[in-house]
Structure 1
């Protein structure tokens, strides 16, 4: 491949692993350009001290390591959780929601350094290439994107290792796990190796954040989570930031075997892919939020919002976080959350999460005088139900007269 000369300065999403280290050197060789390495701390709980010296040794002109955990929890996870969304009915979107923030961080460095391109290590088969690039174009429509996996011929680990050896790149020690993993404050994902057989049941060594439910404590853990405008603000009476909320729930959920998911999902690019996810804190949070909504959200408002969950989840999964349709839908969702205020009591036990109580001093729509099986003091006249039923049955009666005997 001949040298490229159209790029002067590139900001690379850099992790310090084999792939992005090879990409860093490859960019310098193939594009004859300056490369700035960017690493985002999103709560992956990895040691980042070695990232900067390794990037500099590999040829980076500068290295930025940004702690984005607070912003991630506050401005990305929380808005998504207000929507109560799940992708394909089960996935809480832990990887998907991280990508727009990583790209935002990269584009901040692009602006600061007057760079003219970005690069990432996402493959041409996955969703992340779409998420990174759609977000990048949101910030700068003229930005150039270099995706090495769509250009080079280094299409195997052996080829990457050979390139690293030929170019004096430090090769990380062999991973203890054979699985491809991505971790952040929201979750950890596991892909590849035996998981590519959809019939294979994951061994316990797949899991990182959660104990086996069978080995979880024999006594339940109880939590009381306070909500204001659809956002969790305190646990057991202690006020916490969004970051602190998720850190706490992750520990409780992980210790009790909560949040394991084995999913065969549909990627945006068209193929099916198997992923095993651990989302301990997010699973508790999602259940608590729904419990709070049950008490405080109007029925038709909830039906409307719930009908839009698949659309919202697809927007996040497919990389359209910064799209006008997601922002418009977020405005509607946030309007529905104004009354979601109060406290939910949760029981966490051996992989299970249960809502066992909810209360709201200001926005409860539950009225025992109306709902009671006891004497209702004439608040609700049960005889009115007869006319209600007849009116709703009218169209069914008409249809039955026309077609009932034919079916």
Structure 2
């Protein structure tokens, strides 16, 4: 089997007894890699990757202690600022424990002891949530004989990581009727009964690409289901854009079979530093800590994460979340306007609980979702108008859909203008 993406002329020929394709695991050779938003377009008004369009929330008026820049772990909570990265002790390995970051996250998410001290033993840090996903599979699921469950449409890296690890994926689609995108609990339990080797269930809440919250009561039904002996993993990358009380972190203290993933990439606006979070009871956290690379969180990442988790930065983050939520309402209203509807733009689907919107492009004659037209609109927007959204029409229940990140006020204005022009001519 050839190596995907490698030109035949690039295949090594020396030494003659060596065949790279016989060395690589067959499931890796067959793998179609996860395509990220930047694979297609890198320039323009970028509304395709669900980044925080308002920028990072690291407060610019506070100061960083010089002792920290020289390797001292003391941090003044009210005096955190973006450091001069080149002033750090970059010749030294980073702190492998990162307890200060974990403590701040525990405080932020309400995981504290009765005396007010944070439960940092409930927090694991990874190089983005993708490292957490991969580690969970590697430590929990035996390749070739055990399985994971996902609920399409969902985040693509669950399936990619499973294939990399030679793990079969059981798919139980969400109920997409009317754009609901909720769990089919009966079907999930039936699949568990048929396949007792399922070790992990991955739930995305709010969903990507659906933007739909999963009720905590539904998550509890899976956690309480006695036939399921594995771990429910709830991916909450977009949870801060949802109503208060939506997070499954509130269930962690009770359920040892629950792992909640979060990130600093979305609401915190620091996607570039790649910091993912797992929140669970200490036994699972310890297993993950025992398995990770020794210094997986770099010193520049940790310093910027501490800055993002400082009180002034959290206040700024809260303000920007409010702005994004308000912009989400305005953008939805504009996308539903008669002018765009008459050009074949449908009603948004999903729950609209994240910082993006899923909206179908319709065939102008049949008024039904149209993948061909939607993909043309996507490409025209990017290549001729400089506005980059994400085509998601090939995902289950998302026919004809474009996923549009909520941008700045000016970006949203340009989007609406250019989208109208493209819909008129496509």
Asked if TM exceeds 0.5, the reply is no
* TM-score of the aligned structures, taking structure 1 as reference length: 0.28
Choose between structure 1 and 2: higher helix proportion: 1
Higher strand share: 1
Relative to the length of structure 2, the TM-score reads 0.27
State the structure with bigger RCO (CA 8 A, min sep 6), 1 or 2.
2
